[in-house]
Amino acid sequence: MGFLARAVSEQKSMDPLAVWAEMLRAGRSSMAGPTITLENALKVATMFACLRVLSQGVAQVPLKVYREVEDGGLKKIQPAKDHRLYDLLAFAPNDWTTSFEFRETQTIHAALGNSYAFINRTMGGISELILLKPGLVKKVQKPDYRVVFEVTGESGAMQEFPAEAIWHVRGPSWDGLLGLDVLSLAREALGLAIATEESHSKLHAKGVRTSGTYSVDGKLNKEQYAALKAWILAENAGADNAGAPMILDNGAKWISGALTGVDAQHLETRKFQIEEVCRFMGVHPQKVFHTDKTSTYASAEEFSNAHREDTLSPWYMRIEQSADLHLLTRAERRKGLYCKHSANALMRASAKDRAEYYAKALGSGGSPGWMTPDEVRALEEMNPMGGEAAKLPPGSSAQPPAAPTA
């Protein structure tokens, strides 16, 4: 632990922005001009917002260890509070990080490609989980397909760890070994977003833009200028004069300062880049407060369900299965232990829709039922009652319709 302890100590003492920049040092050139690094990618509001939506959406849902047991011929689901991993995942994976903080950062890392955590195994099992900076970890597959991890400390020293010492959560992958480099894939979208914002900033840095210009023939002296200014303010400015016609004489002209075609194109480009970055990150634009488009969802509840199904559910499943693989032994999995997000309120259909579905499943309204009360309770993660609750209703059907989204 000496090498790892030094690496962790160095990570804890570094400035947060420096830690992010250290993760992915190599820049990615874009055709729009800007070189995409982690630091300037996070300055793109849409990218940062997408990462926040993903990471907080995952971290706010508890991740716990459960045990499936049989009691009197009935399967029961119980929280495995006696297992050491339960406390690490549900409350605090180490002495300086909460479960929310750990999984928030873990999801950000994985959403950009790969997340790594050191698994400190002692005689009693796993004693702590320590996040590592992805830029300092290299995953290597040997010719015999054995996987090892090379972890580099701030001093430059490298140490090799076996696969069972590292919890690796990866995003979408091409080779099944590493997650794809999202910043590299999205470099053109991010580059154009940065370039457009920079050009707009430079435009406004040149000075304040007025609503328009009052132009006259010839040159005005100080007295004429003051008189004209006073007349404009008195007769044409203010809410009382809004929409009133302006009467001009002596060859005077009013030149409007409304948005030009170039200005409008800038705005359209920025709007499009919001959607483009959201596509890369798998986040609905409305979740990053891009409300330019008319929603295609009938209600806020339908939109929330779409967000959970399209965006969050794959990440829940990805992390759960990775935790089962890396943090539980095969023997423990065979004994019914597994990791699961407790996402009843977030991951299911609405309470009203579920109630209607379950009522039909139990044979309400004269329709043939296809579920027992205990099966309904199991879907709601409630323990079975046994007895009559374990029996199908009379006239039950063997083929149920599609289940509600879960």
270-321: per-residue pLDDT in tens?
Answer: 888 999 999 999 999 999 988 765 566 667 767 777 888 899 999 999 999 9
Q: CA-based angle 42:9:107, to the nearest 5?
A: 35
SS3 call for 309: helix
Q: Would the pTM count as exceeding 0.75?
A: no
What distance in Å separates the CA atoms of residue 374 and residue 325, rounded to the nearest whole number? Answer: 30
- Range with top average pLDDT, 16-30, 82-96, 355-369: 82-96
What is the reported pLDDT for 42?
Answer: 92
Q: φ and ψ at 131, to 5 degrees?
A: -65, 140
Which of 103-117, 146-160, 372-386 is predicted with the least confidence, judged by mean pLDDT? 372-386
Instruction: Enumerate the domain spans of the chain.
Output: 1-209+259-347, 213-238+245-256, 351-406
Indicate the burial class of 294 (C-beta count within 10 angstroms; 0-12, 13-18, 19 or more): exposed
pLDDT exceeds cutoff 70 at 23? no
142-197: per-residue pLDDT in tens?
Answer: 999 999 999 998 788 999 999 999 999 999 999 999 999 999 999 999 998 888 88
What distance in Å separates the CA atoms of residue 252 and residue 248, rounded to the nearest whole number? Answer: 6
69-106: per-residue pLDDT in tens?
Answer: 887 777 888 899 999 999 999 999 999 999 999 999 99
- Range with top average pLDDT, 85-94, 208-217, 296-305, 397-406: 85-94
